[in-house]
A and B are shown apart, each in its own frame.
Chain A
C-alpha cells in the first residue's frame, strides 16, 4: 500500500460500548506503535510491537485497553466499555527497523478519531 492505513477514519461510540480500531502497517515493517492524541495535546505512547510480540504496553491507560498483532502485520487496538475520556485520535505508526532502529524512519497513519458520547 501507499502507507500506513487506519480504519475506521471516524468512530462514534456510546459510553460503555466496545470498539476496535484497525491498523495496516506498511508491508514488511517490523515495528508498530499505537499512540493516543487528545485534543490540543501531542501524541502519547500506548504500546509497541516488534513483529507479533508486544514488547511494551506501559502506556495503555487501563485494562480496558488491549492491543494485538497476531501475525506480525495488521494490528487491532480494542477499547472495552468506552468512557468519555477515551475520546481522542488514535495514531498508528510503523517502521522497517526493530528496537533502537525504528525511530530512524517512522511512518504514521492518518489516525482514527474516536468520539465517546
Chain B
C-alpha cells in the first residue's frame, strides 16, 4: 500500500542550526514526491517538488530511491521556518493521481 512516513511529530532546533525533516515512503511504482508547508494561520502550500530539483527558501530535498526517502534539509534554520511540514507523494502512472500525505512534522526554530 502507498504510505508516507514522517517519523518525527516535532523537531526543535536553534536558529542557525542545520535541520533535516525525515520522510520515507512505501510505493512500488514511480512516485513523485513533494514537500508542503503550513505556516501559522496560513494555508497549506507547496514548498518544493523533487522533479524540479530546486531550492526554495534555502530548503532542498533529494529523492533516494534505494532508501525510499525524501528528506528535507536546510543548512541554517531561521525562525520564520517554524511551521508544519508535510511530505506527500503521487503516482502519475497509476489510476490515482491524488496526493498521499504523511502525518506531518512540526518544526520549531528557537531564537
Contacts and interface: CB of A to CB of B under 8 A. Distances in A.
Contact residues of A: prevailing secondary structure: loop
Interface string A90-117: 0101000001101111101110000000
A49 to B, nearest CB: 11
Interface in B7-43: 9, 32, 34, 43
Interface string B78-108: 0000000010101010001111111110000
A33 B98 contact: yes
Q: Which 6 A-B pairs have the closest CB atoms?
A: A42-B101, A108-B44, A45-B98, A100-B92, A108-B43, A42-B103
B17 to A, nearest CB: 25
Contacts of A104: 49
Interface of A: 3-4, 33, 40-45, 48, 56, 58-59, 91, 93, 99-100, 102-106, 108-110
Contacts, number: 50
Given A42-B4, A42-B101, A48-B98, 4 more contacts: A3-B43, A42-B103, A59-B98, A102-B97
Contacts of B99: 43, 45, 103, 106
Contacts of A102: 97
B68 interface: no
Contacts of B102: 42
| Chain B contact patch, size range | 20 to 34
Contact of A44 (B46, B90, B101): B101
A59 B98 CA distance: 10
A40 B32 CA distance: 24
Nearest to B38: A108
Given A43-B86, A100-B92, A56 B101 contact: no
Q: Which of B44, B46, B86 has the most CB of A within 10 A?
A: B44
B32 A103 contact: yes
